[in-house]
Chains A and B, each alone.
Chain A
Amino acid sequence: MSRKGFDLFDLIKKVLFTDFVKGLTVTLGYNISKSITMRYPDEEKWIPYRRFRGLHTLNRDENGRELCVACELCSKACPTGCITVIPEENDSGRGIADRVAKVWTVNLVRCLFCGYCEDACPTRALRLGREYELACADYSCTLMSRDQLLVPQPVPESIPGGYVVKSKLERTPQGIKVTVDLSKFKKRSI
């Protein structure tokens, strides 16, 4: 409103509280609109895209041999130095070469999920998967070893991801677990 002129229209607007009513209609619209909250973990769970960088996974080739050749490049590339690799000689056909990892551990407390290790890997043995439920009540889960990482992750590589699936929270004496049903999926409501 200009300082000198007397704006009748503005006065009428003020008296009738038009701006106030406009604001109220906006909030009322939101009030009756559907909520965008994802009901994780009770009902829904977000399945990330393939590009997501979650928990490390060690892959095998189609014959079930470990792809990891224990070259230690991942360990060298790691900016936080959280990957420990100790190689060993093994020609029993466990890996694709004679050289396999005796120890391959990643310290998840230090890891910043930058993905350099994934880039450095010459055999595509190491990938950052789509598992992101990494919390635990003690230190037991902060150090992930080779045996645990060799187990295929619940979300297979073939699924493109980027949608919401049905899930359920299960309470067991060992702890809580989120089980997902990957068969039915829907887009995220935004």
Chain B
Amino acid sequence: MPDIATLLQVLLIVVKVGVVTMILFGLPLPLTWLERKVAGHIQVRLGPWRVGPHGLLQPFADMIKLLFKEDIVPYKADKLLFNLAPLITMVPAFAVFVAIPFGDSVMIPFINKEVTLYISDMNVGILYILAISGLGVYGLILGGWASNSKYALLGGLRSSAQMISYEVAMTFAAVGVVMMTNSLSLVEMVKAQSGSFLSWNIFYLPVGPVWFVIFLIAGLAEINRIPFDLTEDEGTLAAGFHTEYSGMKFAFFMLAEYVAMVTISILAVVMFFGGWNAPLEVPVPIPPIFWLVAKAAAFIYFFMWIRFTLPRYRYDQLMTIGWKILIPVALVNLLVTGFMRI
């Protein structure tokens, strides 16, 4: 029989997982609103306006619509996989957050107990994140295949090829960061970057910025956002792999997409921008988690900004960028980083 302390620890982990999951489930609501607002203002429009003040209640209206929409399963679709695919996409997107650190430990004021702001500090953290986030592609492929639709199948095939190509570059970027910080654990990574902003990995000249650019481009491709959203290219593929999905299943895909965007933003912050470390010494006590959230929010805005700035790449251009530019640059950069670390 396990003792009380172990039980408490398990309970703490369960509570943490619950909190993170709840936040992640709620996060797409403001993010869809923000994305449409950014889209509107970049295109000199207003964006959502009519539901609530400044259209703030628009996501809730959308959610209600999606909940009550008819759930259509196409004729001759593979029912099992068709229903399973949204879950296969969503679960890895959430599971990644097990290893993501939001901050160091904090004291809970009433029970006087120290609580770490991460669910698990595994010593293979970055590897775990890359591995698990790579699983999300199965939902895309299987969903595309199971839909019994040409568009969806092509979208699924494209996404699989894209994921394989860019996972290589992304892993190289992660390897670079591992070499710069001497650890696979994300918590150690952040701790290695403590101090002023000059000790952040992005300022590890000359290789830091190059790794960051490689990571950002590969990350954009991994989360299927413009300019690399070939898998749901509405110009040629209707909606890509989720053409046949409606209602809640479609919402799950969207949810996974937004969570993946948050993951990449936080990962970029943790790997290159010092995580929860303040950029400069500030006299006022600001909780470290504020810095993480602020930096991640900046990245999320940046992704949206890019989305409404750049056109979509052609498929062959996508492959050229991945294999002929990013990977050779990453290899050279790996060599340089290796020499610098000797």
Contact = CB atoms under 8 A, between A and B. Distances in A.
The answer to whether A binds B is yes
Interface of A: 17, 20, 23-24, 26-28, 30-33, 35-37, 39, 42
8 contacts: A28-B305, A30-B41, A31-B41, A31-B42, A35-B44, A36-B44, A36-B45, A37-B45
Nearest to A29: B42
Interface in B32-79: 38, 40-46, 49-50
Contact of A23 (B41, B43, B50, B309): B309
B45 A27 contact: no
Given A30-B44, A36-B45, A39-B49, 19 more contacts: A20-B310, A23-B309, A23-B310, A24-B306, A24-B309, A26-B309, A27-B42, A27-B305, A27-B308, A27-B309, A31-B42, A33-B44, A35-B40, A35-B41, A35-B46, A36-B44, A37-B44, A37-B45, A37-B46
A36 B305 CA distance: 19
A20 B220 CA distance: 15
Interface residues of B, number: 16
B319 to A, nearest CB: 18
Contacts of B43: 30
Interface SS of chain A: helix
Given A23-B310, A24-B305, A24-B309, A31 B38 contact: yes
Interface in B212-253: 213
Contacts, number: 36
Contacts of A26: 309
Interface of B: 38, 40-46, 49-50, 213, 305-306, 308-310
Nearest to B301: A31
A71 to B, nearest CB: 47
Nearest to B41: A31
Nearest to A32: B41
Contacts of A17: 213
Contacts of A28: 305
A66 B305 CA distance: 60
A30 B42 contact: yes
A190 to B, nearest CB: 10
A28 B41 CA distance: 9
A37 B50 CA distance: 13
B24 to A, nearest CB: 27
A31 B309 CA distance: 11
Contacts of B44: 30, 33, 35-37
Contacts of A39: 46, 49
A26 B310 CA distance: 11
A23 B49 CA distance: 27
Nearest to A33: B44
Nearest to B310: A23
Contacts of A30: 41-44
A53 to B, nearest CB: 28
Task: Specify which of A20, A27, A30, A31 lies most central, judged by the most chain B CB atoms within 10 Å of its CB.
Answer: A31
A35 B310 contact: no
A17 B212 CA distance: 13
Nearest to A25: B309
A26 to B, nearest CB: 8
Contacts of B308: 27
Nearest to A27: B309
B297 to A, nearest CB: 15
A78 B309 CA distance: 49
A36 B44 CA distance: 6
A45 B309 CA distance: 31
Nearest to A22: B309
A189 B44 CA distance: 11
Contacts of B42: 27, 30-31
A20 B313 CA distance: 14
A69 B44 CA distance: 50
A24 B307 CA distance: 10
A12 to B, nearest CB: 14
